[in-house]
Structure 1
Amino acid sequence: MNDLRLTDSGPTDRLFCIQRIATITLAVACCFVSARQAHAQNDQVYVQSSTKSQRGQIETVTKNGIELKMGGNVKKFPAGDIAKILLQGDPSGLTKGREFALDGQYDQALEELEKIDISKIKRDLGKTDAVFYMTLCKAKMALAGRGDKGEAVKMAMSFVQQNGDSWHFYDVAKLLGDLALAMNNPQQAARFYGSLRNAPTTEMKIDSVYLVGLTMLAQGQNSEALAEFDKIIGIKAATPGAVRLQTLSKAGKAVALAKSGQGAEGLSLVSSLIETLNPTDVEMAARIYNAQGDCYVASGDKEGAIMAYLHTHLMFSTEPGAHAEALSHLVELWPTVGKPERAAEARQELQNRYPGYGK
């Protein structure tokens, strides 16, 4: 019979029992240490350029990025390169909500995220992640006319004020710029977008220049907008993201040219983009066709503009922001070619799908 009780059988037996107790105690302690180490090594960081995660312990988080301890090494991930993080112990609502949000399914994301009791999330990093994805969803839905922009701004401002050291900081700054631009405040938008020039990655800095160019376009500062877009077009793009921003800048330049009285040049540029268009990139395609519509409007060709906006409406309606923009233009343009009934149809769809658009 195995018995760890000490008896009076002598000092040798007592020493043997003490040694056994010490051995068992040490083994149990090692198990706890191993469990803690396994827990610590179970954070995951995904980067934009890969579907595989890198595992370790997230040690340091700032607005410029994350430091991940991987064994005896520490690896730094700049904020603009991070796609997402997964933390050991994340509640299922956060895991599901995060994936829905990153996939653009904001309704489903909010449904999952709102099930979470954030106060019960053990790690502050997890709490911040949950609040960020709720903020992202609210902002994206508001931008598509399916939510209150003012409330989205309050939520985003609260996030940056309370989480100035979050790796999501620059993403929220961009959201604030998007909301300001949608609320017809391009000067405020430019300030938010301008903050991205302090971001740690080249792509975020390029994005800042592009977005500031859009705010200048919105203010009728066409020559200034052209200068910003040309800065991007002239660089040697080294990543797919930078190439994408160059294409968007060419679309912006086309509109700026048309609004500057150079309609033929603008239409020629945007037509060249359409020739090489990847229809599976719905956001890009919708923006380019809307840019073509803007060029036609600036050139006085209303029928051409209608055809361009119809492309977005009929082929790329899954991109809510661009689709709502195209519908709003069609509402204005159809009556000018003698088809008020088509304008009524476009208005009805705009109100049904994006009830808060333009408000």
Structure 2
Amino acid sequence: MNMRWLGIAFAAAGLWQATAFAVDTVVTSTEQVRGRITQMSPQAVTVETAAGPKTVPVNQILRITYDAEPAALGTARSNVETSRFEDALTALDRIPADSLRRPEIAQDVEFYRAYCRGKIALGGTGSPQDAGSAMVNFLAAAPNSYHYWDACRMVAELLIAVNDYDDAVEYFGKVAEAPWPEYKVEGLQKSGWTYILAGKFAEAEKAFDQALAVPLSGDDSPKLLATIGKARTLVEKGQTDEAIAMLRPIPERPDLTENSEVMGRLYGTLGAAYRKAGKLKDAVIAFLHVDLLYFSHTPSHIDALRNLAELWPQLQHPERAAEAVDVLKEQYKVNISAG
């Protein structure tokens, strides 16, 4: 083979390699896997790389970018990661339908559109029903998407927003069916908290016990939420001293200071225990921790405001109760009366 044809052969080989491999990128916390995605399921994504096929478990994936995806999709993804959901929707709306040449890209667009609508609805703007329907439609159209678990979580949260607790438990139950311990614990403890909203404390206690029985290494936040939930069921049974004793070590951990979900649930449960025990000032102090420090966890904040609206008049501060009622109405579209 003369040098001219040899050069053409090498150029063609390089072009083929670039086309065949460095196209899609699966990003985890430790690596970026580049190649061509050949299989996708809720459990794993398989990438054909230059070194051969590599399977990446979905619970390790942070994001996937696709070859030839519209630039606006990348913009939307970045906006979602920084909680700029309105901006993400604006970017998604700029994507022409005829530019979505691969099913995976079209599915990503629909997932992020439904996800952003869900987040906006949970923030008090828009319809939880419409957002939930959009996400259910996504699940029906793309059952093998790696977004499956996030979609189930979102549907469950939107169902809670419309007080459909039984169906919310069903979707959290899907998360509990995942093959990874942290997902199992998450699905079970979130089912437990949903049962509490429904007033089904026996079912809640069972879900929390199941979560606590799952072996789990690494981040123990999901199990702490199950422990707090278990304590909340003890409060309902009047075992307030036992509940408080279960919770006492948690606020001493400095690594949890910024965890609004754990700390919000913790102080909300302490408030419920003190209130059940007739210690109203201690209850108010606990609920104020949520209102002033851990308000970013919406379910805990709503619960704390409801309790403060009822407790402040008993401590001769009706004006503070009125403030709690106003926040519930203006921020969360929840209408209650003080006292």
Tell me the TM-score normalized by structure 1. 0.82
Shift, 1:144, TM fit: 3.2
2:152 to 166, 173, 181: 173
1:349 maps to which residue? 327
Q: Which of the pair has more CA radius of gyration?
A: 1
For 2:285, give the aligned amino acid: M
1:309 to 279, 287, 299: 287
Residues 185, 214 of structure 2: 8 Å contact kept: no
| 2:37 aligned with 1:58 | yes
Shift, 1:220, TM fit: 2.9
1:125 to 97, 104, 116: 104
1:36 maps to which residue? 19
CA-to-partner distance for each residue in 1:81-113, whole Å, 9 max, x for gaps? 322112233333222321232333433433433
- Cα distance in 2 between the residues matched to 1:312 and 1:275: 16
Shift, 1:24, TM fit: 7.4
* Distance verdict in 2 for CA 1:313–1:32, change over 3 Å: same
- Cα distance in 2 between the residues matched to 1:235 and 1:27: 54
- Cα distance in 1 between the residues matched to 2:299 and 2:86: 15
Superposed CA RMSD in Å reads: 2.8
CA-to-partner distance for each residue in 1:235-256, whole Å, 9 max, x for gaps? 432132xx11111101101111
Shift, 1:62, TM fit: 1.6
Shift, 1:339, TM fit: 1.9
For 2:277, give the aligned amino acid: S
**Residue 69 of structure 1 aligns to a residue in which SS?**
strand
2:197 to 212, 215, 218: 218
CA-to-partner distance for each residue in 1:7-63, whole Å, 9 max, x for gaps? xxxxxxxxxxxx8986676566445424413xx32322123xx25322222111122
* Distance verdict in 2 for CA 1:28–1:320, change over 3 Å: same
Shift, 1:174, TM fit: 2.0
- Cα distance in 2 between the residues matched to 1:43 and 1:143: 32
For 1:80, give the aligned amino acid: N
2:264 to 283, 286, 296: 286
1:112 maps to which residue? 91
| 2:229 aligned with 1:252 | yes
**Residue 74 of structure 1 aligns to a residue in which SS?**
strand
1:45 to 26, 41, 62: 26
Residues 328, 334 of structure 2: 8 Å contact kept: no
- Cα distance in 2 between the residues matched to 1:163 and 1:103: 25
Greater RCO, 1 or 2 (C-alpha within 8 Å, sep 6+) = 1
| 2:211 aligned with 1:228 | no
- Cα distance in 2 between the residues matched to 1:322 and 1:115: 36
Residues 43, 87 of structure 1: 8 Å contact kept: yes
2:117 maps to which residue? 138
**Residue 249 of structure 2 aligns to a residue in which SS?**
helix
1:269 maps to which residue? 246
* Distance verdict in 2 for CA 1:51–1:339, change over 3 Å: farther
- How many residues were matched structurally? 335
**Residue 322 of structure 1 aligns to a residue in which SS?**
helix
Q: Gaps spanning 5+ residues in structure 1: where?
A: 1-18
- Cα distance in 2 between the residues matched to 1:118 and 1:54: 28
1:14 maps to which residue? none
Residues 97, 112 of structure 1: 8 Å contact kept: yes
For 2:16, give the aligned amino acid: V
**Residue 64 of structure 2 aligns to a residue in which SS?**
strand
Shift, 1:133, TM fit: 1.9
For 1:318, give the aligned amino acid: S
Tell me the TM-score normalized by structure 2. 0.87
* Distance verdict in 2 for CA 1:181–1:232, change over 3 Å: same
| 2:72 aligned with 1:93 | yes
- Cα distance in 2 between the residues matched to 1:150 and 1:51: 37
Q: Which moved more, 1:302-311 or 1:155-164?
A: 302-311
Residues 146, 357 of structure 1: 8 Å contact kept: no
Q: Gaps spanning 5+ residues in structure 2: where?
A: none
For 1:64, give the aligned amino acid: Q
Residues 153, 179 of structure 1: 8 Å contact kept: yes
- Cα distance in 1 between the residues matched to 2:55 and 2:17: 25
- Cα distance in 2 between the residues matched to 1:154 and 1:315: 33
Residues 46, 56 of structure 2: 8 Å contact kept: yes
